[in-house]
Amino acid sequence: MSKISLIIQREYLTRVRKKSFIIMTILTPFLMASFLIVPTYLATKEDTQEKIIAVLDKTNITDGAIPQTDYLKFEYIDDTEIAKLKENFEQSGYYAILYIPENILISNKVQLYSNQQTTMGVNQHISNALKSFFTQIKLKNENVPLDIMERIKTNINVDTIQWTSTGEEKEGSAEIVSVIGYISGFLMYMFIFMFGAQVMRGVMEEKTNRIVEVIISSVKPFQLMMGKVIGVALVGLTQFVIWIVLIFGLFYGAQLVLADNDKAAPSITQNLMNPNESGMNIGNTVDATQLQKMLDEITSKFETINFPLIIICFIFFFIGGYLLYASLYAAVGSAVDNETDTQQFMLPITIPIILGLLVMINAMQTPHSTISVVFSIIPFTSPIVMMARVPYGVPYWQLGLSAGLLVLTFLGTIWMAAKIYRTGILMYGKKVNYAELWKWIRYKN
Amino acid sequence: MSDFIQAKNVVKQFANHLALDRVSLNVPEGSIFGLLGPNGAGKTTLIRIINQITAPDEGEVLFRGRKIVANDVNEIGYLPEERGLYKKMKVGEQALYLVQLKGMSKTDALKRLKYWFEKFEIQSWWDKKIEELSKGMQQKVQFIITVLHEPKLLIFDEPFTGFDPINTNLVKNEIIRLRDNGATIIFSTHIMASVEELCDHIALINRGKTILSGNIDEVRNRFKPDSYEILFRGETENLKRALNSHIIVQEEPTRGDVKHLIIKKNQSESLRSMIATMNEAVDIVSFAEMIPGMNDIFIRAVEETNQNNQI
């Protein structure tokens, strides 16, 4: 086995065998999923309790207008009972009292009395049922025939269609695209920071442990540096791949479970895409075909997103951006004796990364603005900003230019870092400044 | 005996000082070569150049008579003065890693590690982390790692620091055994007693220059002050009178009835006639030529060059 692959292997194995790595890699997707699942779960959980609502109907026409569900029942009562109820509500076993006034057709208002805050699901259920019931009443009062009523039921959805340069049409979903752009851009930012810092700490560990002199009597300093940089990159890629697999696994797993259960609450994905509508159907019976339709719609929206391109771009820009920054981090680690001394050199590395993050957040909304385009091509910010733009579709010349510049730049930073590294790792007890680093870069050997 | 390592007019310039100023030395094959010098003399720089950690600005290093190449590092075992291992890594795993970096195959490395761990009776350390071991124990591990791949050239920089007398002896005997098995050893230390005990050849470097080099006996003879130490019974005055043509260097304190003098021999007179004269005057208990210790030679040589430099 060649020496550099031995180094890569050690750097990789010591990191992936760490408990903290294993825990974080496995737990993160579950944590993310649980952020989505837990609220939904809690919402459905609550509704499995049977609730009985007393209805005092002054119009005397709504009996049966509000459909019962497994967990939500309606009992009609009259005026004599209401007096007793008011005195003794807690013992009555009712969840709430629904009061439908006589003048509802004018006021458009009903009242729901309870000793606790009623849930959104219950409110929506009542509102929807009464809305369609009284609409029909009003239409009937206007003498609209029943068949016309059926025909004029309208529900408008906005489907966003994207034109490609070839004139092909793609159905898209703005929300999904921007969420995916944000997640991949932020992940890029996190990875560069996290794994760059790991490289720096690794270099400093070797320097302060003084093991570096033993190692570079066996291998070239450049081999040691690149072995570490590549080893840590593989750790990052491993984590990324595991996350992708787990997230997609959880997503489709959840869908399958939901599809099996025809009485289930709205799917997690729907909750994510349309937070405003969430809870609307809680407590209602969602039949299998309706759910199936919804899932099909989401899946078809997902299919319009070019996941292979996003994943390939992520891996490429991660490797490029990481190599660029990790080599700089390695140079900083080699130049200092302890963590506190790193501060002065960290700033110029940190600023472009954070700038990239800020532009990325902006690019989520305006992916094709001049500033987004420019920063997605400049190598120091391109990995982060480009990832936010990729899901929207980026012209190939921009991707190519950005990638090409990134490769040239990381070759440059690696070359420069290697020079600093070679001198730095054997330099102890010296306060190093930028002038000194410049001198090291110019050393011949 | 051919030279295993030759340095020829090696120059190394750092930003503000000249670390090595045309240093040349020859390390004969199969010998223990003492590389001596005061702190900051340039020993570590020279060792790093031999290890190809840094390259010389001028001059060259020959490895078995030809220019040293990158792959030669596999034939070198280096124990630097500043020791260090990965603290969080297990002993066995770490040893395996470091010797594989020297080009050994994993199976060979395992086999030989087993042998050395048994020899040093440290098998139980295999799965311990380095940070769990004491400093001396860590040194032992590092010594094994240095010699494990049976390099033709071994470079030890202060190999005994941190060892108790028992382990010092163990390591000393290993170094001699390695030499007897054909390895060439460069040994850098400030402990002159161990230089006298171990080294066949030495070079003394001061301020980036070689100021003394050669076979250790030759060097010591070169510094012979032509002085003798005599222990005797009888009258000191009688002896002084008999030796009036020689210089009495020093009168040492008497131990019991045995008196003690240091004499510098008159160059024109033979040793035999001097002994004969003394024998007439007093009862000689012992008589010996004073061979200077490496300690004295070190101090004298370094101070001389320092004075010359000041003028």
Q: How far is A15 from chain B (nearest CA, A)?
A: 11
Residue B306 lies in a domain: no
Q: Give chain A positions within 8 Å (CB) of B61.
A: none
Within 13 Å and on the Cβ side, how many CA atoms surround A413?
Answer: 22
Select from B172, B192, B221 the last residue of a domain.
B221
Residue B87 lies in a domain: yes
Average pLDDT on B155-160 reads: 93
pLDDT of A39-97, one tens digit each? Answer: 666 655 556 677 888 888 888 887 777 888 777 888 888 777 777 777 777 777 788 88
Q: How far is B54 from chain A (nearest CA, A)?
A: 7
| Confidence band, pLDDT 50/70/90 cuts, at residue A263 | very low
| pLDDT of A290 over the 60 cut | no
Name the residue of chain A whose CA is nearest to B145's CA: A214
Residue B182 lies in a domain: yes
Same domain? A367 vs A413: yes
pLDDT of A137-162, one tens digit each? Answer: 888 888 888 788 777 777 776 666 66
Name the residue of chain B whose CA is nearest to A440's CA: B15
| pLDDT of B21 over the 80 cut | yes
Task: Please give the pLDDT value at position A294.
Answer: 59
Same domain? A250 vs A338: yes
Same domain? A31 vs A59: no
Same domain? B262 vs B172: no
CB nearest B98 (choices: A205, A212, A214):
A214
Average pLDDT on B289-301 reads: 88
Q: What ipTM did this prediction achieve?
A: 0.83
Tell me which of A119 and B66 has the higher pLDDT.
B66
- Is B51–A439 a contact, with Cβ atoms under 8 angstroms apart? no
Same domain? B132 vs B210: yes
Residue B303 lies in a domain: no
Task: Please give the pLDDT value at position A172.
Answer: 58
Average of per-residue pLDDT values in chain A: 81
Same domain? A28 vs A136: no
Q: What is the 3-state secondary structure (H, E, C) of chain B?
A: CCEEEEEEEEEEECCCCEEEEEEEEEEECCCEEEEECCCCCCHHHHHHHHCCCCCCCEEEEEECCEECCHHHHHHEEEECCCCCCCCCCEHHHHHHHHHHHCCCCHHHHHHHHHHHHHHCCCHHHCCCEHHHCCHHHHHHHHHHHHHCCCCCEEEEECCCCCCCHHHHHHHHHHHHHHHHCCCEEEEECCCHHHHHHHCCEEEEEECCEEEEEEEHHHHHHHCCCCEEEEEEECCHHHHHHHCCCCEEEEEEEEECCEEEEEEECCCCCCHHHHHHHHHHHCEEEEEEECCCCHHHHHHHHHHHHHHHHHC
| pLDDT of A422 over the 60 cut | yes
Q: Give chain B positions within 8 Å (CB) of A1.
A: 100
Same domain? B162 vs B272: no
**Which residues of B, range 4-63, sit inside 8 Å of A by Cβ?**
15, 48, 51-55, 57
Name the residue of chain A whose CA is nearest to B156's CA: A214
Q: Give chain A positions within 8 Å (CB) of B84.
A: 209-214
Average pLDDT on B107-122 reads: 92
| pLDDT of A262 over the 50 cut | no
Same domain? A230 vs A345: yes
Residue A61 lies in a domain: yes
Residue A98 lies in a domain: yes
- Is B85–A439 a contact, with Cβ atoms under 8 angstroms apart? no
Task: Please give the pLDDT value at position A291.
Answer: 53
Same domain? A234 vs A264: yes
Domain count, chain B: 2
- Is A445–B55 a contact, with Cβ atoms under 8 angstroms apart? yes
Same domain? A54 vs A191: no
Residue A153 lies in a domain: no
- pTM exceeds cut of 0.90: no
Select from B167, B188, B221 the last residue of a domain.
B221
Same domain? B163 vs B276: no
Domain count, chain A: 2
Residue B116: which CATH number?
Answer: 3.40.50.300
Same domain? B210 vs B229: no
- The answer, for B87 touching chain A at a CB cutoff of 8 Å, is yes
Range of the domain at A138: 50-147
Same domain? A341 vs A388: yes
- The answer, for B259 touching chain A at a CB cutoff of 8 Å, is no
Range of the domain at B245: 225-289
Q: How far is A327 from chain B (nearest CA, A)?
A: 20
Residue B120 lies in a domain: yes
| Confidence band, pLDDT 50/70/90 cuts, at residue A298 | low
Select from B200, B221, B242 the last residue of a domain.
B221
Residue A415 lies in a domain: yes
Same domain? B194 vs B264: no
| pLDDT of A176 over the 80 cut | no
Name the residue of chain A whose CA is nearest to B155's CA: A217
End-to-end CA gap in chain A: 27
- The answer, for B96 touching chain A at a CB cutoff of 8 Å, is no
Residue bearing tokens 């929207």: A392
pLDDT of A2-43, one tens digit each? Answer: 899 999 999 999 999 999 999 989 888 888 777 766 666 665
Same domain? B172 vs B103: yes
Q: How far is A19 from chain B (nearest CA, A)?
A: 13
CB nearest B51 (choices: A206, A210, A217):
A217
Residue A24 region by backbone torsions, left for phi larger than 0, else alpha for psi between -120 and 50, else beta = alpha
- Closest to A222 in 3D by CA, of A3, A442, A1: A3
Task: Please give the pLDDT value at position A156.
Answer: 75
Task: Please give the pLDDT value at position A37.
Answer: 65
Name the residue of chain A whose CA is nearest to B106's CA: A1
Residue A68: which CATH number?
Answer: 3.40.190.10
Same domain? B236 vs B213: no
- Is A205–B86 a contact, with Cβ atoms under 8 angstroms apart? yes
10 Å Cβ neighbour count for B159? 26
Distances (CA, A) of B301 to A33, B214, B307, B310: 76, 14, 10, 14
Q: Give chain B positions within 8 Å (CB) of A14.
A: 88-89
pLDDT of B198-257, one tens digit each? Answer: 999 999 999 888 999 999 988 888 888 778 888 888 888 888 888 776 777 777 777 788
Same domain? B281 vs B164: no
Name the residue of chain B whose CA is nearest to A208's CA: B84
Q: How far is A6 from chain B (nearest CA, A)?
A: 7
Same domain? B285 vs B147: no
Residue A165 lies in a domain: no
Residue A138 lies in a domain: yes
| Confidence band, pLDDT 50/70/90 cuts, at residue B63 | very high
B162-196 exposure pattern, b = at least 16 Cβ within 10 A, e = fewer:
bbeeebbebbbebbeebbeeebbbbbbbeebebbb
Name the residue of chain B whose CA is nearest to A221's CA: B53
| Confidence band, pLDDT 50/70/90 cuts, at residue B111 | very high
Residue B277: which CATH number?
Answer: 3.30.70.1710
